[in-house]
Structure 1
Amino acid sequence: MKRKQVAGWVAVVLVAFVAVILVAQWLRTLPEVAVFLSNYRGTTPLPDGAPVGLPAWLGWQHYLNMFFILLAIRTGWIIRSKKRPPAFWTRSDKGLLRYTGPAQRMGIYHWFHLSIDFLWVINGALFMVLLFTTGQWMRIVPTSWDVFPNAISAALQYASLRWPVDNAWVNYNSLQVLAYFVTVFIAAPLAIFTGVRLSPAWPKQGWLHRAFPETLSRRTHAFVMFYFFVFIVAHVTLVLTTGALRNLNMMFAANDGTSWWGAGIFALALASMVVAWFLVKPRVLKPIAKLSGKVQG
């Protein structure tokens, strides 16, 4: 994308951002909207027995999820650029990691993208097990239809720059609940399914090939990648602007305090992600890829 195009898109985003704030602030001056906000404060009560607080396992799960998604987005973007791969990987049964079935040849970035996705899926499966065995699912699964008007209320409060009452240690607001639910139970499974559909392992003919067209899967996969990008930007922005120290402690240090422990752990996590971002290069990936196949190029 050319520099002028980038500048144009940035200008459009800034204008839209300012317009949303102004419209939201105007809406809050209307009596009907004031009554709505009074009736729906932005939070729905949790079911009886819902856990309080965020456990330590959720912190390292959160980090691994960020780490894998970041690298998946990076390699996915490289793949979508359709540039010729700097090297190609072919799986074999002679490497450290043994495979069965016919050999598959793919670009080195495509191989790394699939490898990262595999680790992400394993981490996600463990997350699901812990989520339902500890009762933490009750914090991100809507259990009342009131979640929708409360989510609208929370969105309007965010947009008008007058934050809703925040006590995420006990209960997320309804907009957070819906966002987490969509991310965990809709976007993630869609990313996995469409990723498998686009992988070399998917049949090249037969009813499965016809039932799930490659073009539709590719577009859906790209849309989900864009959704994750938007979610990450919005999530990080709100974490840092609605009480950064407390939020980072909840997410990374498993406590509801305002010490610098959570921020320190987050800084280390962020540093590791930046390093990993710049290490995604052929000279680093080739030796790793050779453990499971043949690398050419």
Structure 2
Amino acid sequence: MDLGFPWWLRVEHFLNIIFITFLVRSGLEILGTYPKLYRSQHTVPGTAWAQFTVQEEAKHKYYTVGGEYSDYSPRISLPGRGLLGLGRYWHFITVTGFVACWITYLVLLLATGQWRRYVPTSWDTFSQAGQDMLAYLAFTMPQPLDGMVFNALQQLSYGFVILVLTPLVILTGAFQSPAIANHFSRITRLLGGRQVIRSIHFLCMVGYVVFFVVHLVLVFLHGYLHETSKMVFGHSDKPILGGIIFSLGLLLVLALHVFATRWTLTKGRAVEKLHNLVVRPWSNLLYKLPSRMHYDRSNITGKDVGLANTTHNFRGSGRPPETPEYLALMANCYEDDYVLEIGGYVERPMTLTLAELRELAAGHSQTTLHHCVQGFTSIGRWRGISMSTLLDLAGPLPGATDVVYTSFQNMGRDDALYEGGTYYESTPMVEARLPQTIIAFELNDEGEIPAKNGAPVRLRLETSTGFRSLKWLERIEVVNRYDIILEGRGGYFEDTDFYDRNQLI
């Protein structure tokens, strides 16, 4: 069998240069918004094993939402400047192409027998790889294996990247999706938990970068024109022409990065439209994965270090409302004054006090993992009433499609990093009725929810990223259209920043 360079392999090789470089740059943008890595589920301040920021740990008990962003340069990350939403858009657009390319490549490898180029058929290959390494260190060129275009070290290296590193990076990327991680929570825990998964994903990125650097060095050692001719024509008979064409291809890749960066920084909504066209068709399928997390009290953040009071260890993000109305509720301990309104496109509008919510909840609670869009996590035990139960009580009218949640918080007043506007979120009806979508009023069996975590009542959307689990809940409204509210994108950050309402990934 000819284990040379068929046309489809050469096409895949070039596409992967584009995909992996875009994944690395957009991945750095995502990392930059929470540039710390941990060994456990609990992102307790001061316990990171690695961090990539010069900012000091926040000292205030109330974190601003964007207060920990590191502003990486657009020359490094895509698009740069701490634009997490746009970085996520590019990451998921590229993931779509990268995974499709890898699956196609595997099918073709199996169908054509080309898998032998990466899978050793003899244990002698491993000892030969050691000898090849010594040859490189001595600045001599090892010979290819019999019937192969690679030497033993190249075969094992390429096989590892394609058959081990790539599946691992796809797996760890998938299990950073709240919908996937929370539906398959036993697998999430088997993999070490969200933060271990996140760390492994980062190390996979490092692995790709190291491979690229070593691969580039070897291309020059073996002869740049000789090797690039193989990647263009499938043989080394036209080294000069092959080298020119491949170099022009690399310039094209560079031009794509420059264009993507500048286009994103000036036309963010156009990138959003591209994301919605490419990503939403498959990401919407994740609504079919209801959250079914399997955690217990021993997993609560803070329990692992023996804390008696764990609520202060459940990470908060954002500052509580500062209106006289909310401050009065806080001063009176919420109990007698707070009323949750439920109305809109329903048969039976209603108001519910905290006591009535407790009675309706009938002791229901769930211990779940919070996935912040930045990357931090905490495990908490929430007591509350399922949103589906509240909807059944209110009776959505025919044609009701979405549920809108309004907070007491005004971002410009309460979080100075952002423009003014009431914080709100919305969910499609299918998300509102997921079994672990609840209206919570107690955290970790320790009484009311602390102010930093959304007192007195908050929304919990366990299949979504954390900013959509709205805190300081004031009102719930059932609607038949969400796209006519304010900017029409379904939430405060969706309207003012670049976040998709579908935050299942």
Q: 1:119 to 1:201 in 2, by over 3 A?
A: farther
Partner of 2:189: 210
Matched letter for residue 210 of structure 1: R
Query: Does the CA contact (< 8 Å) of 1:108 and 1:286 recur in 2?
Result: no
- 1:182 corresponds to 2:165: no
**TM-score normalized by the length of structure 1:** 0.71
Cα distance in 2, alignment partners of residues 141 and 209 from structure 1: 29
Q: In structure 2, what is the equivalent of residue 264 of structure 1?
A: 244
- Verify the 8 A CA contact 1:194 1:220 in the aligned structure 2: yes
Q: Does the Cα contact within 8 Å between 2:86 and 2:271 map onto a contact in 1?
A: no
- 1:198 deviation in Å? 1.0
Whether the 8 Å contact between 1:54 and 1:169 is mirrored in structure 2 is no
Provide TM-score, normalisation by structure 2.
Answer: 0.43
Q: Would you say how many aligned residue pairs link Structure 1 and Structure 2? A: 229
SS at match of 2:175: helix
1: CA distance between counterparts of 2:268 and 2:16?
21
Structure richer in helix, relative to its length? 1
Q: Which residue of 2 aligns with 1:287?
A: 270
Could you tell me how far 1:110 is from its partner in structure 2? 1.3
What is the CA-CA distance between 1:119 and the residue it aligns to? Answer: 0.8
Quick check: 1:253–1:261 contact (8 Å CA) kept in 2? no
> Aligned AA for 2:190?
A
CA separation in 1, counterparts of 2:268 and 2:11? 25
- What SS class does the counterpart of residue 195 from structure 1 fall into? helix
Structure 2 residue 15 is the aligned partner of structure 1 residue 55 = no
Q: Does the CA-based 8 Å contact 2:228-2:243 persist in structure 1?
A: yes
Flag as ranges the 4+ runs of structure 1 deviating above 6 A.
none
Partners in 1 of 2:106 and 2:210 — Cα distance? Answer: 23
CA change 1:208–1:150 in 2 (3 A) is closer
CA distance, structure 2, for counterparts of residue 163 and residue 290 of structure 1: 49
What does 1:59-98 correspond to in 2, within 5 Å? Answer: 59-82=10-33, 84=66
CA contact (8 A) 2:225 2:242 kept: yes
With over 3 angstroms needed to count, the CA separation of the structure-2 counterparts of 1:195 and 1:277, relative to structure 1, is: same
Cα contact 2:130–2:153 (8 A) shared by 1: yes
Could you list the runs of 5+ residues in structure 1 that have no partner in the other structure?
A: 1-49, 87-105
Counterpart check, 1:224 vs 2:207: no
Structure 2 residue 149 is matched with structure 1 residue 171: yes
> What's the CA shift for 1:282?
3.0
Deviation larger for 213-222 or 126-135: 126-135
Summarize the alignment of residues 1-297 of structure 1 with structure 2, pairs less than 5 Å apart: 50-82=1-33, 84=66, 107-166=85-144, 170-204=148-182, 206-212=185-191, 213-278=193-258, 279-280=260-261, 281-291=264-274, 292=276, 294=489, 296-297=496-497
| One-letter amino acid matched to 2:186 | W
SS of 2:239's equivalent?
Answer: coil
CA contact (8 A) 1:65 1:120 kept: yes
Matched-pair contact (CA < 8 Å) for 1:54–1:250: yes
Q: Deviation of residue 181 (structure 1)?
A: 1.0
What 5-or-longer segments of structure 2 have no aligned partner? 35-65, 71-83, 281-488, 498-505
Partner residue of 1:29? Answer: none
For the pair shown, the structure with the greater C-alpha radius of gyration is 2
Identity %: 29
Deviation sequence 1:179-204 (CA, Å, 0-9, x none): 01110111000000000011243244
Alpha-carbon distance change, 114 to 200 in structure 1, aligned in 2, over 3 angstroms: farther
1:200–1:156 CA distance, 2 compared to 1 (3 A): same
Give deviations 1:40-88, integer Å, cap 9, x for gaps. Answer: xxxxxxxxxx3242111111110001110000001111211127589xx
Contact 2:89–2:271 under 8 Å retained in 1? no
CA positional deviation for 1:166: 5.0
For residue 26 of structure 2, give the secondary structure of its aligned residue in structure 1: helix
Instruction: Give the whole-Å Cα distance in 2 for the aligned partners of 1:216 and 1:260.
Output: 47
Mapped to 2, the partners of 1:285 and 1:209 lie a distance apart of 33
In structure 2, distance between residues paired with 1:277 and 1:195: 22
> What is the alpha-carbon distance in structure 2 between the residues aligned to residue 284 and residue 170 of structure 1?
48
Q: CA deviation at 1:285?
A: 4.5
Structure with the larger strand share: 2
Residue in 2 that maps onto 1:34:
none
DSSP-derived class of the 1:111 partner: helix
In 2: Cα distance, 1:264 partner to 1:152 partner: 34
1:274-295 Cα deviation digits (max 9, x unpaired): 1222223332453031242856
- Please give the per-residue CA displacement for 1:75-120, whole angstroms capped at 9, x wherever unaligned: 111211127589xxxxxxxxxxxxxxxxxxx722112112201110
Structure 1 residue matching 2:179: 3-state secondary structure: coil
2:226 is matched by which residue type in structure 1?
R
Q: Which has the higher contact order (CA 8 A, sep 6+)?
A: 1
Distance 2:12 2:149 in 1: 19
Range that drifts further, 141-150 or 269-278: 269-278
Distance 1:58 1:199 in 2: 30
